Amino acid sequence: METSHGICRIAVAMGETHSRVLLEQVEHWQEYLALVNMILFCTGVPGHYPVSETTSSLTLTFWYTLQDDILSFEEEKQVVYLQVYRPVYFQLVDVLLHKSHYPSQDDYASWSSDDKEQFRIYRVDISDTLMYVYEMLGAELLSNLYDRLGRQLMDPQQSAVWQDTEALLFGFQSIAETIDVNYSDVIPGLIGLIPRINISNVMLADTVMYTIGSLAEWLADHPVMLGAILPMVLQGLVKPELSVSSVSTLKRICRECRHDLGPYAQDILTVSQDVLVKEIHKSSQSMWLMQALGFLLSALPVEEILVRLHSLITPHVQQLDTLAQQEPNPKNKQSIIHILGMLSSLFTTLDINKQADSLEGASSPRPTASQNTQNPVVVVLQQVFTLIQTILSKWLDDSEVVQAVCGVFDKSVRTLLHDFGPMVAQLSGMLGQIYIAFPQASALDLHFSEVLLSLNRHCPALLSQWLKEALQTPGFPSAQVSTEQKHTFSQQLLREQTNKRRVKEIVKEFSLLCRGLQGSGY
């Protein structure tokens, strides 16, 4: 292995460094083709990377170099080179797909976590290479993959080898992820084939999910195909082992296809509510799922949104209510933060105003809140406001819980904008109470940072005067900060008129000073 590794390094170094020079030696094209084929052999060296070979990954950058050099020649020369090298690149696709094959379940189970991670990164590199090669091979590459997949799935013996199916789908997904496949005539056929795939194997099922996700934009333009594909995604959603792939795919579909999901909304919501209540997914995937449902709900008629919204969040609000009554403890804390995070995620994407803008001039009715109906998010916030105040009263000195509470309102304000009006008085009062009782950075972020930035942008002289007057009061905002530190805070703040993130940092640092926590690694 060491010998072949060394020979491969020499071949790749020659090919990469002298690619253009060697291409230009037209009379010696056969010798250079022999070197290219040697590198192709190194790419496809037998064995599984990184367990039984480590050579193939050295060759991948060579294929970029060769392709760039070929495509940089004037058209007449390009035609000649493409005649010689397109067949090589089709062979390369076969080799890369073969190298991306997973080992058998038993072998894979015996790999160390480091080997698995290296293999995952290697497959990402292969994916990037396939995407790049598509520029040279074009639509013919997709047709080639589609024909092979079709033959495999129609032949029971061939489709029994799940790795072959997975590798072809992996190739499709690599290309569809970044290339506009809307004009490809093989995608309808691919969508027709996907439901025929047996997703009992986890690795294959993962790739099926990601492939569907990569076609979300295509599905938005061909919504008639959603009915064939959504059941598979929902089938994946109930399996914990497919958590990341199924949830991220559903989120992409809900984002891209939301205006066409009306007929499927009930099914999506039923399955999603079930997996959320059963806590099938980890916290981060639950947040993604809530974002997906926010996109879905946004496109429904306003009256329907409120009904479905209540149905979706009631179990979680009830759980929050129970937790709010209990004495604070670490387990309660994580559950409270989790539920507040889910509400924040939902409110991040539940934006009926955005939907109204995107439907401007469309024949569908605009889902704006009428004069008589409030925005559904505002209705929900008003209903849970007292509950949130109860939680705050018990957890006021815990920055993570306060941050989670502020996150709910932060996301809501960003999404609702003017519709947030009815909540302003209540929220302002609550923020004042939070900060007087226990000065926390998250309350200032919610975002005061934005207010201070706007004041500094539009009336810097007055802000300077107000800061001076407010901060000269002894012991305000805290006895922990000196006159010099207050002065530094003012100066830093007055210098920032555009950078919101920097204002947040300045405010956060000052908040830590006020609490005596600066430099404590807090």
Question: What pLDDT score does 366 carry?
Answer: 42
Question: What pLDDT score does 360 carry?
Answer: 44
- Inter-residue contact 294 to 348 (CB < 8 Å): yes
Question: What pLDDT score does 352 carry?
Answer: 83
For the chain, what are the domain ranges? Answer: 1-198, 207-300
pTM listed for this prediction:
0.82
- Inter-residue contact 251 to 210 (CB < 8 Å): no
Encoded amino acid at 324, one letter: A
Question: What pLDDT score does 364 carry?
Answer: 43
> DSSP per residue over 139-153, as a string?
HHHHHHHHHHHHHHH
Question: What pLDDT score does 118 carry?
Answer: 97
- Inter-residue contact 247 to 289 (CB < 8 Å): yes
Question: What pLDDT score does 362 carry?
Answer: 43
Which of 158, 157, 227 shows the shortest CA–CA distance to 194?
Answer: 227
Q: How far apart are CA 445 and CA 424, in angstroms?
A: 16
Q: Which residues contact 501 (CB under 8 A, 6 or more apart)?
A: none
- Inter-residue contact 199 to 236 (CB < 8 Å): yes
Q: Which residues contact 101 (CB under 8 A, 6 or more apart)?
A: 48, 163, 164, 166, 167
Tokens of 347: 């409110």
Radius of gyration of the chain (CA): 29
Question: What pLDDT score does 497 carry?
Answer: 87
417 sits in the region (left: phi over 0; alpha: psi -120 to 50; else beta) called left
Question: What pLDDT score does 91 carry?
Answer: 97
Cite the beta strand spans of 72-166 per DSSP E: none
Question: What pLDDT score does 359 carry?
Answer: 46
Coil vs helix vs strand at 117: helix
What are the mean pLDDT values of the chain's consecutive 10-residue runs (522 residues total)?
A: 91 93 86 94 95 94 95 92 95 97 93 96 96 92 93 80 94 85 84 89 94 93 93 95 96 96 96 94 94 95 91 94 92 94 94 60 44 77 91 89 91 83 87 81 75 86 91 88 92 89 87 78 52
Tokens of 241: 């082992």
Question: Sign of the CA dihedral 397, 401, 405, 407?
Answer: positive
